[in-house]
Structure 1
Amino acid sequence: MSRERAAQLEYSEFQAAMLDEEKRRRKAAKIIAVLGHFLGRDAADPGDVLSGLTVADVGCSAGFIADELAGAGASRTFGVDIDVPGLRKAAERFGERVEFLCADGSALPFPDGSVDVLVFNHIYEHVVDPDAVIRDMRRVLSDDGVLYLGLGNRLGVIEPHYKLPFLSYLPPAAADRYVRASGRADHYYERFRTRRGLRRMLAEFHIWDYTLPVLASPERFAGGELFPGGVGRAAKATLERTPRPALAALLPVVPTYLWVATKTPKRPLGAPLPQPPEPVRTP
């Protein structure tokens, strides 16, 4: 029987990827590029993309992404996490321009409608109650605000944390046995959802899917961290040749979705793209 889940305190202490500064900053560049396109600021100076906006990175850990958000011109930047060691490291390095707060994502320390941009990047699978976190992010997001989401897919073939095929497909007890047999962990904590489950989780939002645009235009969206080097160029060429209906048919099994969500109906304001973002759902 799978053990009961509890909050992953001190996550950066046992997940080295959270302290990989170069990789985290590449992720931040992609996030900022997507936000810039959606907001119609894709032609702006990189230091002005988030100018005049209040921004919060929920699940910030050691603060590298929050620091990049501040560097993109945010008027006020917050990093929120329950990872105390990570927050301590973050505050020591970036505390002069980012406000780091120890708080649970389901009880964010912000007034209603007070945040213009929220970032929730590859966090939901680690959260005990992601639906509660989504509800509270909707509460604090302004009516004109934007929520960036990096969302792992349960049907991605290779599980991203342990690099084991089909691990996330399994029920918890079987996944525990599999990851234990591999010698990579004593149990499998993460809980991914399918595309359909993610749509349900975000049922109160209007959502635009940037997954294919980022893959098709990696240089434009600083998306090389998804498919580095020659793999990225090959992916781009394949995506450009593949008919849109065929690409859409593959979406249920892509490993990661990149979505932008809003409380009220909005459209991306950036320049036209070879593979334009498409709506995922409208409440």
Structure 2
Amino acid sequence: MKIAALPLKQYKTERKTDYSAIILEGPHAEKEVNQIVAVCRHFSHRDLENLNCLYLGTSEYNIAEYLGHYFKEVIALDVDESALRINRRFSLHDNIRYVCCVDGNLSIDDSTIDVVICDRFYSRVDNPEELMYEIYRVLRYNGFCYFSAYNKLSLVERHLSIPFLAWLPGWAAEILMKLSGRKGKYNNKLLTLSKLRKLVDNFWRHDYVGLIRKNPLVFQTQDELCPKPSEAKSSGRLLKYIYPFLPLWIWVLTKKK
């Protein structure tokens, strides 16, 4: 399954002077979108080209511009209005809407979204329970949510590459960041597997971890879920034992009726 990506050279050329205002890492974004689209196509019984999509958190990597190739309409939502203004100005697609989220409200009507993409986003909001409530509210009953989540028990924090950072309370995490030469506060609120399952309890969970590990080429993945070549033969048998300690989980969520 070969999935084309947005020509990065064209995107950089269009953005020129304002390109540095928003981080868009070409290889990172391309790999991310390839995996998201592959999972969505595998799960959906309808063509993505006929569906609308809500993408949550678009200011850090403007993945919405890539998703515009695959969905009928993309609503890209974030809390950073200044970043959204730049995205609107330099967007290459007329099927993408950039919307600012205010006070945790998605500002979208009930049961109007076919696909929600919540990609490693739950830990960046103050109230993940409210986030999941809002996803449930806007999602159609025949729609689904691509949901990926980092694990609090990962030895190395995935955003900052600092060992044991996610294990620590806030004050200790800030001290470790300073000792590592990093500025700012550590705001990610990662969860363990049991707490994450509780968070999505209002949804049916369709687990893609095993499928992706067995078929990395089909799902266009090169991330933390892929077993090392030396582990490939035994990874299936060991999965149930190592599952709570995987660095990342990928699920498709559907509404319980």
Instruction: Name the counterpart of 1:37.
Output: 42
CA distance in 2, matches of 1:125, 1:213: 24
Please report the RMSD computed on the Cα atoms of aligned residues, expressed in angstroms.
2.5
Report Cα offsets for 1:105-132 as digits up to 9, x if no partner: 8311211100000001111111111111
- What's the offset of the Cα at 1:243? 5.8
Question: 1:218–1:236: 8 Å Cα contact kept in structure 2?
Answer: no
Q: Deviations over 1:158-189 (max 9, x none)?
A: 10122111111112222121112211124322
- TM-score of the two chains, using structure 1 as the length reference: 0.77
Q: CA deviation at 1:237?
A: 5.9
Deviation at 1:86, TM superposition (A): 2.4
* C-alpha distance in structure 2 between counterparts of 1:103 and 1:244, whole Å: 40
How many residues were matched structurally?
Answer: 238
| Counterparts of 2:141 and 2:157, CA distance in 1 | 35
Identical aligned residues as a percent? 26
**What is aligned with 2:13?**
none
Q: Pick the aligned partner of 2:29 from 18, 24, 31.
A: 24
Q: 1:61 to 1:187 in 2, by over 3 A?
A: closer
CA distance, structure 2, for counterparts of residue 105 and residue 54 of structure 1: 24
Q: Structure 1 residue aligned with 2:247, among 255, 260, 282?
A: 255
Deviations 1:29-82 (A, max 9, x none): 1001001111146xxxxxxx412111110112266322222211x222110111
The one-letter code sitting in structure 1 at the alignment partner of 2:228 is A
**Partners of 2:229 and 2:207 in 1: CA distance:** 17
The residue matched to 1:198 in structure 2 has which SS? helix
Match of 2:100 among 99, 102, 121: 102
1:160 matched to which residue of 2? 158
After superposing on structure 2, the runs of 4+ consecutive aligned residues of structure 1 that deviate more than 6 Å are none
CA distance in 1, matches of 2:140, 2:229: 35
Which letter does structure 1 place at the counterpart of 2:86? K
- Out of 82, 87, 108, which is 1:85 matched to? 82
Contact 1:153 1:255 (8 Å CA) reproduced: yes
Q: Which SS does the other structure have where 1:223 is aligned?
A: coil
Map 1:156-235; keep pairs closer than 5 Å: 156-224=154-222, 226=223, 235=228
Q: Matched residues in 2 for 1:143 and 1:227: separation?
A: 31
* Partner of residue 116, structure 1: 114
Asked whether the equivalents of residues 29 and 68 of structure 1 are also in contact (C-alpha less than 8 Å), the reply is no
Q: SS where residue 139 of structure 1 aligns?
A: helix
Please give the alpha-carbon distance, in whole angstroms, between the structure 1 residues aligned to 2:142 and 2:229: 32
Aligned partners of 1:156 and 1:166 also within 8 Å = yes
CA distance in 2, matches of 1:114, 1:237: 45
* Distance in 2 separating the partners of 1:180 and 1:254: 27
The letter for the 2-side match of 1:110 is: I
Residue 110 of structure 2 aligns to a residue whose secondary structure is coil
Counterpart secondary structure, 1:199: helix
1:20 partner letter: E
Letter in 2 for 1:256: L
- Residues 33 and 103 (structure 1), Cα distance of their counterparts in 2 relative to 1, 3 Å cut: same
Unaligned runs of 5+ in 1: 1-12, 42-48, 266-283
Aligned partner of residue 179 in structure 1, secondary structure: helix
C-alpha distance in 1, partners of 2:56/2:235? Answer: 36
In structure 2, the residue corresponding to 1:178 is in which secondary structure? helix
Please identify, of 96-105 and 107-116, the stretch whose mean Cα deviation from structure 2 is larger: 96-105
**C-alpha distance in structure 1 between counterparts of 2:43 and 2:103, whole Å:** 24
**2:29/2:61 contact within 8 Å kept:** no
The TM-score with structure 2 as length reference comes to 0.84
